[in-house]
Amino acid sequence: MYDAVPSLLDRTARIAAFPDGSLDIYSEVRGADGGHLSKAAFQDRLTGVRSRAFHLDERVVEPGGQAVNAAQQAHALGDEVRLDACLDHHRLDLPFECHSHGKPSRVHIHEFTDGDLMYVSESDDVADWTAADFDTLPDADGYFGANWATVDGMTGVLRSLAGDLDGEAFVFDPGDVTTADPEAVRSLVAALGTVDDGIDTSLSVNARELAAFADALGVAAEETAVRDEADISAVVVHEEESARAAYEGGTAVVPNLKIDHATRNTGGGDRFGAGYLHGLTVGSDVEAALALGNACASYYVETGETATADELVEFIDDWSML
């Protein structure tokens, strides 16, 4: 399926992404001796008798947020992008069309050797989105929506957009729903079903988030069961080993590209969503779209950079020769 990816990158689309927007500050967590800590070592030092002094080695400050990340990936693939997000900060000067709705959140990402921990200082402008904020959302071939977990009005926004999204595909990544109220999750699912009546809608989640949806809906923690109960076009699960989808034509599993070393553990899922959306929007089948999503995510996790179309082709070529 990866041999189909280069042909998908010869075509471009108009992509609209929304909402959120943050300033992301990445810092490595180090002990008093300067060593880069794992989460387990950090916990041991908190609970033990050893020194509890830690150092934050700030490495990168950059634009962030699910929709922002996805928009950057779509732009890197050559798509014509419009981003609606909270971008009122000089560091959030992005090289494509943006419509800012206020001040961004701040996200401190503490990087351990075995994963990240995130601390969010949420902007009121992000949290208070309403349907009225989307009056200017443009026509597009594909749409990427996100961040339901921290935007209180997102379910209402989706209901208001039902029938107005006129394109090939809508990919929705809700964020971390694992602690959400089950009734709120069911309301979200109902809203997505309404959107799906007008545009093919994919719910994009990881395995933990899939389990939360399944629990709220009272079905097995499987993508097919959740899709059938939600009555939407597709449910997609992106994980370290593979990406899976249940869709109208059946199911698909695409093994992930193996990487040598993880430079970034946060943001890969958003790049996956953008790649998957690009594939669907330019007319690929689900397997090829999953493969493109995997390639975007793997490249980002390994390098910490958002891949261009040419870089993805080279990345896949190098992997195929291993």
269 in a structural domain: yes
Quick: pLDDT tens for 286-307.
Answer: 999 999 999 999 999 999 999 9
What is the rounded distance in angstroms from the CA atom of residue 144 to the CA atom of residue 129? 16
Q: Please say whether the beta carbons of 157 and 195 come within 8 A.
A: no
Please check whether residue 52 lies inside any domain of the structure: no
Within a domain: 189:
yes
- Half-sphere CA count of 155, side-chain side, radius 13 A: 12
Total tally of structural domains belonging to the chain: 1
* 303 Cα distance to chain centroid: 17
Look up the CATH number of the domain holding residue 222: 3.40.1190.20
Whether the pTM exceeds 0.85: the reply is: yes
Give 138-151 pLDDT, tens digit per residue. Answer: 889 999 999 899 88
What six digits make up the tokens of 193? 């079903």
Most trustworthy range by pLDDT among 5-9, 19-23, 153-157: 5-9
Give a yes or no: residue 38 inside a domain: no
Q: In this structure, is residue 257 part of a structural domain?
A: yes
Domain assignment present for 158: yes
- Rounded to an integer, what distance in angstroms lies between the CA atom of residue 76 and that of residue 279? 14
Here the tokens at position 173 are 């990544």
> Which domain covers residue 87, as residue numbers?
2-23+65-104+124-320
In a domain, 211, yes or no: yes
Question: Which residues are CB-contacts of 295 (< 8 A; sequence separation ≥ 6)?
Answer: 2, 5, 257, 275, 307, 312, 315, 316
Does residue 33 sit within a domain? no
pLDDT digits (tens, 9 = 90+) for 44-89: 877 765 666 788 888 788 899 999 999 999 999 999 999 999 999 9
C-alpha to C-alpha distance for 222 and 58, rounded to whole angstroms: 39
**CA gap 171, 201 in Å, rounded:** 6
